[in-house]
Structures are given as C-alpha cells and as structure tokens.
Amino acid sequence: MSNQDSLIDIAEQYPQLHIDMKYATADNITGQPIYSTATCLLHRHAAVALAKSIEIAGIAGFSIKVLDAYRPQRAQELLWHACPNQDYVVPLSQGSNHTRGTAIDVTLVDTNGQDLDMGTHFDEMDELSHPYHPSLALAFQRNRLLLNAIMFGGGFVGIATEWWHFELPNASEYPLLNDVFTNVSPAQTDGVLP
Ligand SMILES: [Zn+2]
C-alpha cells in the first residue's frame, strides 16, 4: 500500500462532519491560504477513531468541525516560518503528525450550528490555548472538557498546548507522507506575484 492509499477523504466518508479547513483560507496565522484545496484527508486508522468520536458527539447533540487534518510537508514549512515556536509548530526536522495523517484539529458545533466557544481561536498561539489553563472562565473549561471527552472516547489523545489538536496515541510512529496535493499556489511558492 502506498503512502497515498493510506489516506481517506473524511469529508466524503463522513458527511455529518462540518469542514472548515483554515489553511485553505486566509484565516490562519500566515494570513494567506497555504493549501490550494480544502481537501480533508486522514490516515485510515485515525479515520476509524474519528468515526467513533462522531458517534459519541452525535449522542450528546454535537457535531465535530474539522479545522485541519492531513497537512503537506510544504505547508508545514510555511507554518514554521510564520511561527518558529516549537510549543505550537513542530520543527521541520521532527515532522508534524498532521503530515503523517494521524493528527486532526477540531472543535464542536451545537444543534443550532454554532461553534462552542473555547475561549481562544484556533491557532491562537497563547498560553490560554493550553487545554486546562486555569485562567479561563468556567464555560470555556467545560466546552473543552466536552471536546476532550468526545475525542478521547474515539481513541485520540490531546497535547499540552492546543485545545483543538488531537492525534492517535502512536501518531509519531507512522511515516511522514509525501505531499499528496499541491498545497501552495505557484505565486506563493516563488514569492513572485503573477
Ligand atoms: Zn494540530
């Protein structure tokens, strides 16, 4: 099985997901799209865990919104240059679990289609984004606990610095994948406007 065969399109596979791939829009820390497509891919093992989390969310009246999933290596380089802080962006030498297809960034949506307020935005590189930061108001603490319970129930684990990030417990044992889609427009790659 090739690298690329190990990835599945979770938007197609699980139509109950909300999808908002932030790196396909300008609404991310680089201030510009770094994916040329909003294609939402995940390693099939992580997709199995996600199916369980989707089921658990549904039982409690929530939907999962995906903010990022598989991330091409070239996009990881752009993120690192935009934010060379290893608390929030994995150094290039180590490789991101997103590039392995084994990590996913998510939040929760309620029955009215509203995002639950987690107290900080996705990719807000601040201590307040740490999942259990004691300075946050109770409502945000509880929303984060809900998200954790739903994702942990599927078999994911969290990390200490980002409330939105979840990955398989052995995420880093998977190989880094070769870039699957063209992630950056040629103009951005070359630094030259058309
Ligand atoms: Zn992440």
Q: Which of 3-17, 79-93, 156-170 has the highest mean pLDDT?
A: 156-170
pLDDT at 124: 92
| Average pLDDT score over residue span 49-71 | 98
Q: How many angstroms separate the alpha carbon of residue 160 from the centre of ligand 1?
A: 12
Helix (H, G, I), strand (E, B) or coil at 64: strand
pLDDT at 93: 85
pLDDT at 184: 66
Q: How confident is the model at residue 183 (pLDDT cuts 50, 70, 90)?
A: low
191 pLDDT above the threshold of 50: no
Distance (Å, whole) CA 58 – CA 144 = 17
The pLDDT tens digits of the residues spanning 77-100 come to: 888 888 888 888 888 888 999 999
Nearest residue to 148 via CA among 45, 62, 27: 62
Pick the catalytic residue: 12, 77, 162, 167? 162
DSSP 170: T
Determine the length of the chain.
194
Catalytic residue status for 162: yes
Strands 63-68, 157-158: parallel, antiparallel or unpaired by DSSP? unpaired
Of the two residues 193 and 28, the one the predictor is more confident about is: 28
Q: How many angstroms separate the alpha carbon of residue 68 from the centre of ligand 1?
A: 7
* pTM for the model: 0.92
138 pLDDT above the threshold of 50: yes
8 pLDDT above the threshold of 80: yes
Mean of per-residue pLDDT scores for the chain: 91
Q: How many angstroms separate the alpha carbon of residue 145 from the centre of ligand 1?
A: 17
128 pLDDT above the threshold of 80: yes
Of all residues in the chain, what percent carry a pLDDT higher than 70? 91
Of all residues in the chain, what percent carry a pLDDT higher than 90? 75
pLDDT at 89: 86
